[in-house]
Amino acid sequence: MPVAVTSLDELNSRIVSCERCPRLREHCLQIAKVRRRQYSSWEYWGRPVPSFGDPRARVLLLGLAPGAHGSNRTGRPFTGDGSGNFLYPVLHEAGFASQPNALNRDDGMQLTDLWITAVARCAPPGNKPTPEELRNCAPWLDEEIGLLTRLRVVVCLGKIAFDGLLAWAHRTGQIKSRAGYTFGHGAEYSLPGGLAVLASYHPSLQNTNTGKLTRPMFLEIFRRARRLADTKRGETGRMPIE
């Protein structure tokens, strides 16, 4: 039986030593060893990336997986790569982040009312975790959501994160089927347990460089998340996490 966690810090400390996915652990360590030339002086993190944010958050940001030379290098979600360079200025403008620039774990960044996590916590080859690896990582998300006691809204970045959140809702008995939940930018659902789900395109360079996801589009997602959090006062009625 897994040891019950009492805090998000303790959960993070367990996550960083996780070895459930041999392929991903090997990949992350290999990247950390070889490194990219521009980061040759860095000591890469190379371990599972812990979640980051405000333990009293009402909004959860659910990403896909660490970037090979971003958070796999810096050890903090969305820190040090193109996705983070697009995300954090928007979070700052929306009032969730204390500063627009995310450089490293010691840059002073603080989040308010927001907690950032991912459906896979180790950088996968080609940014594609396998279904088995996503299943391996899912129990961490279950524990984490159980510890975020003020949670009202989940913003899912990309379809894999959206599917991961629906899988969580299914595991916890909140939904019987995923039918009727369709991913799209700006798609919004209210789960029977009371949690609001907001879908967004992922801020990958592939999406932001092509204009598929623009800064105004992304900012509106977080403004909407704030409004949803503000309007969902009182008990969420969430189903208990088994």
Q: Which residues of the shown chain bind ligand SF4 in the complex (CB under 6 A)? A: 15, 18-21, 24-25, 48, 120-122, 133, 136-137
Closest CB to ligand SF4 among residues 24, 198: 24
CB of 118 to ligand SF4, least distance (A): 9
Cβ within 8 Å of residue 72, ≥6 positions away: 28, 31, 32, 44, 45, 46, 49, 66, 122, 123
Residue 136 Cβ vs ligand SF4, minimum distance, rounded to whole Å: 4
CB 28 within 8 A of CB 122: yes
Q: Which CB atom, from 135 or from 150, has the smaller least distance to ligand SF4?
A: 135
Nearer to ligand SF4, 61 or 191 (CB): 61
Beta bridge partners of 6: none
* Nearest distance in Å: CB 90, ligand SF4: 26
Taking a C-beta distance cutoff of 8 angstroms, is the pair 87, 64 a contact? no
CB of 134 to ligand SF4, least distance (A): 8
Half-sphere exposure of 114 (CA within 13 A, CB side): 25
Shortest Å distance, C-beta 158 to ligand SF4: 16
Under a CB-based contact definition with an 8 Å cutoff, are residues 191 and 169 in contact?
Answer: yes
Comparing CB distances to ligand SF4, the nearer of 24 and 199 is: 24
Q: Residue 237 and residue 242: Cα distance in Å, rounded?
A: 15
Name which of 25 and 223 has its Cβ closer to ligand SF4: 25
User: Residue 155 carries which DSSP code?
Assistant: E
59-63, strands of its sheet edge to edge: 52-53, 114-118, 59-63, 153-157, 196-200, 188-190
9 vs 19, beta carbon nearer ligand SF4: 19
**In whole angstroms, how close is the CB of 119 to ligand SF4 at the nearest point?**
9
Q: What is the per-residue DSSP string for 121-167?
A: -SPPGGG---HHHHHHHHHHHHHHHHH-TT--EEEEESHHHHHHHHH
Least Å from the CB of residue 123 to ligand SF4:
9
Task: Between 69 and 232, name the residue whose CB sits nearer to ligand SF4.
Answer: 69
- The token duo for 54 is 């405000």
